[in-house]
Structure 1
Amino acid sequence: MALTEREQQVLRDLEQQLHSEDPSLAQTMDRVETVGRPSPRHIGAGVALVLVGLTVVVAGVAVGHGPVSIGLGVAGFALAVWGVTLMLTRVGSPKSSSPSSGSRRTSSFMDRQAERWERRRDTER
């Protein structure tokens, strides 16, 4: 749902007020950080590892009792734990504190959107 011109103006005024009253908070809020975002690839690979790990554990139980069964059980459990940790891994790095990020070769989608927003906001002033 798009904002009306009035709502956009109110948001711009609130943003300017925040920048003037608490610049450090405004700078913190302006930064777009990708840390904490889950990666779909990590989630998919993690789910696959958990399934493979559980399959190996079941195979270890089916083999019977003995050193091979214990080894398969431990290996399957390790694979499942690795899959869970991979699913919970967050990707990305915090955006540099400098406003110009021309030294970077690639930027994430959110970084590009933030840069476009800053350029648009600067041209409106």
Structure 2
Amino acid sequence: MALSEREQQVLRDLESQLHQEDPGLADTMDSRTTGPLRLSPRHIGAGVALVLVGMSLVVGGVVVRNSVISILLGVVGFGMAVWGVTLALTRVEAGGGPGSSRRPSRRSSFMDRQSQRWDRRRGSQG
């Protein structure tokens, strides 16, 4: 359902008021809504590996006859499995993950150059 003009104006007023009162929160909210978040295949693979290792430790803890070692292996294995699930479900920005901070700048400069070329062509034709 589309918003009426009055509702759109109220939302714009609220947004500008938020930017004035708490610019940090407004920037955080803008960054969360501007880029799509996706699951990272690297995180999913590492998470699955951690879950498998964690479950192996839990099974190993059941097999061990010593109660202290058994409890310790069970707790460590469970912790690794939880960490693996958390890692697998971590969402990253669609632009890339850690270590790819250089790539978007090259893409943006490439896109900027293409945009400038396009503008020059459009300006010379008109």
TM-score by length of 2: 0.51
Q: Mark the runs of 5 or more structure 1 residues left unpaired by the alignment.
A: 1-21, 95-103
Q: Mark the runs of 5 or more structure 2 residues left unpaired by the alignment.
A: 1-8, 13-29, 96-100
> Which residue does the alignment assign to 1:106?
103
Greater relative CO, 1 or 2 (CA 8 Å, sep 6+): 1
1:52 is aligned with what amino acid? V
Counterpart-to-counterpart distance in 1, 2:34 and 2:53: 36
Counterpart-to-counterpart distance in 2, 1:90 and 1:107: 18
More helix by share: 2
Counterpart-to-counterpart distance in 2, 1:42 and 1:92: 13
**SS in structure 2 at match of 1:91:** strand
* Identical pairs, percent: 51
TM-score by length of 1: 0.52
**SS in structure 1 at match of 2:104:** coil
1:107 is aligned with what amino acid? P
Conserved in 1, the CA contact under 8 Å of 2:38 and 2:94? no
Counterpart-to-counterpart distance in 2, 1:71 and 1:44: 26
1:39 is aligned with what amino acid? S
Counterpart-to-counterpart distance in 1, 2:65 and 2:82: 23
> Which residue does the alignment assign to 1:81?
82
Query: Are residues 1:33 and 2:35 paired?
Result: yes
Counterpart-to-counterpart distance in 2, 1:49 and 1:69: 19
Counterpart-to-counterpart distance in 1, 2:67 and 2:90: 35
Structure 1 residue 91: deviation in Å?
A: 1.2
> Which residue does the alignment assign to 1:45?
46
Across the aligned residues of Structure 1 and Structure 2, the Cα RMSD in angstroms comes to 3.9
> Which residue does the alignment assign to 2:58?
57
- Please give the per-residue CA displacement for 1:25-67, whole angstroms capped at 9, x wherever unaligned: xxx8xx8614x21100000000000000000000000002511
**SS in structure 2 at match of 1:37:** strand
